[in-house]
Chains A and B, each alone.
Chain A
Amino acid sequence: MRALAIAARELQSFFVSPVAYVVLTLWSVLAGSFFLSSLLGFLADEAQARQLAAFGQVVETNLNDSLILPFFGSMWIVMLFLLPAMTMGLFAGEKSNGTEELLLTSPLRGWDIVLGKFCAGAAFAGLMIAIVAFFPALLFLFGDPEPGKTASGLLALFLVSLAYVAVGGFASSLTRNQLIAFMSTLVTLLVLGMLLPFIVDLGAGAGEPSALRSGLGWIATGRHTERLLTGLVDTADLAYFAIVVAAFLLLTRTSVESVRWR
């Protein structure tokens, strides 16, 4: 229960600082523009399909694959850059503010603090996902996308955002400088989500797949997210996100409590 008090205070302070408003504004504007560009892309696809149909060829276009999927994919990348700005202050702010001393001398367990902060970050991420969900909701008014596939895409974005909040919170717990927390989160997320699969693919041509390569491929967020985005809900991918979140929360708790045994 004490974790809830911490989460509520953190959420309130998000909305007192300009950072939350800047992040939400950028997020909404980018969502709108990426949705528009995906929509234009879809219209071009459709026009092409009509032309081909005139020649007797049947090409199927589909709202989910040609519009929602690229739109969610773009928002995933945007999130990777925006979420660290929200998580950078989670713990570093308490340290630079001197309020860490209040938290650590209160009758709180490490988990109360860590889960409280994580819940605040998760609630903010949920708000971002709700903004994104507005755009496919428009499509339901004017067309008939597949509800299951759309929901699975939103789930992918939400799960990946939870993982990012957990990573960002850990980075924030390591330093009192918010800029360092931001940069290290961004770099970790880039390596974890983007570079790792790239490194794995680089070696793909040479020899048969090694245990190291498939292991690294599994650690990367990219493949799990992509599968969910395309509508494939696999327990293995859900478990992956649960493991990443749990692992980083555990690391964060250790880091928060380390002041007691250092």
Chain B
Amino acid sequence: MPAIEVQNLSKDFGSVRAVDDVSFEVAQGEVVGFLGPNGAGKTTTMRMLTGYLPPSDGRVRIAGHDTFDEPLLARQAVGYLPETPPLYPEMKVAAYVRYVTAIKGVPRSQRRAAVERALARCGLGEVAHRVIGTLSKGYRHRVGLAQAIVHDPPVLVLDEPTVGLDPIQIQEIRQLIQEVAAPREDGRRQTVVLSTHILTEVEAICDRVILIDRGAKALDEPLASLTAGGRSLEDVFTQVTFRDRAAP
């Protein structure tokens, strides 16, 4: 069973078609990069994957659960980091992550362990009792990531996880994502979908690239075959997005 199944997904905002008939599947343990220029429909697609926005047409299955027919099970299976981390600035880091375990339905007896694991994995141990509003942007992103992984969901959706960070913070967050996606002792792997418009990011962490341009899927290939023959990802990106623009 694929971790994510998307069939003929479309989204209209009034008369504007933001996402147009997108279909793809993501296998368990795959790390997929959503690539595309700004405004291509990446965020809208991700919002439909997480159940935040309903599709105008088509369907999404997360770990076998349809987001429309079984919304609670589908949402339970997703960890989501929106572009701006959804943080309460007045809360302390550990209390915030604990609150997230409660609303994600982690059983009471497992909450403490889940919070400690998430804080440790995201390198937040030292700031656990700091107020979120006083943290630097890099740390706030880590708290956002901790929030997304704390209930150990099979699918992680990360919307532009490194946007607005300095080069060192970008490195740290990328490393974190790689650690999260790495196979565990029990052999399970977390499926990760991340969106970005930074090409090196895709090259650094993704197994597969889905290129979205003006709402439609323009390309869907494993990274290895894309860059085979010495082509750089940048060439592919500009080629695909320009070709579309030249032939309206």
Contacts and interface: CB of A to CB of B under 8 A. Distances in A.
Given A13-B90, A107-B73, A98 B82 contact: yes
Name B's interface SS: loop
Interface stretch (A2-10, A79-87, A196-204, A231-239): A2-10
Nearest to B76: A107
Q: Which of A6, A16, A103, A259 has the most CB of B within 10 A?
A: A16
Contact of B54 (A98, A101, A112, A260): A260
Contacts, number: 71
Contacts of A5: 99, 102-103
B147 interface: yes
A101 B78 CA distance: 13
Contacts of B86: 97-102
B242 interface: no
Contacts of B226: none
A108 B103 contact: yes
A105 B156 CA distance: 12
A2 B75 CA distance: 15
B90 A2 contact: no
Interface in B92-145: 95, 99-100, 102-105
A107 B104 contact: yes
Contacts of A112: 103
Interface string B62-97: 000000000111011010101011111111000100
Interface in A88-113: 97-109, 112
B191 interface: no
A261 interface: yes
A105 B84 CA distance: 14
Interface in A216-262: 259-261
B122 to A, nearest CB: 16
Given A106-B75, A260-B54, A97 B105 contact: no
Nearest to A113: B103
B90 A106 contact: no
- A12, A17, A261, most chain B CB atoms within 10 A: A12
B105 A2 contact: yes
A16 B104 contact: no
A105 B104 CA distance: 9
Interface string B31-59: 00000000000000000001111100000
Contact of A97 (B75, B88, B95): B88
Contacts of A260: 53-54
Interface in A12-49: 12-13, 16-17
Nearest to B49: A105
Contacts of B75: 105-107
B67 to A, nearest CB: 10
Contacts of A104: 51-52
A37 B195 CA distance: 64
A2 B102 contact: yes
Nearest to B73: A107
Contacts of B95: 12
A107 B52 contact: no
A195 B72 CA distance: 44
A259 B47 CA distance: 12
A101 B52 contact: yes
A13 B91 contact: yes
Contact of A2 (B82, B85, B91, B103): B103
Interface string A102-138: 1111111100100000000000000000000000000
Contacts of B54: 260-261
Contacts of A101: 52, 80, 82, 86
A195 to B, nearest CB: 37
Nearest to A100: B86
Given A99-B87, A108-B72, A109-B72, 16 more contacts: A12-B91, A12-B95, A13-B90, A17-B90, A97-B86, A98-B84, A99-B88, A102-B80, A102-B100, A103-B103, A105-B78, A106-B75, A106-B103, A107-B72, A107-B104, A259-B53
27 contacts: A2-B102, A2-B105, A5-B102, A9-B91, A9-B99, A12-B91, A13-B91, A16-B90, A16-B91, A97-B86, A97-B89, A98-B84, A99-B88, A101-B52, A101-B80, A101-B82, A102-B80, A104-B51, A105-B52, A105-B80, A106-B103, A107-B71, A107-B72, A107-B76, A108-B103, A109-B72, A260-B53
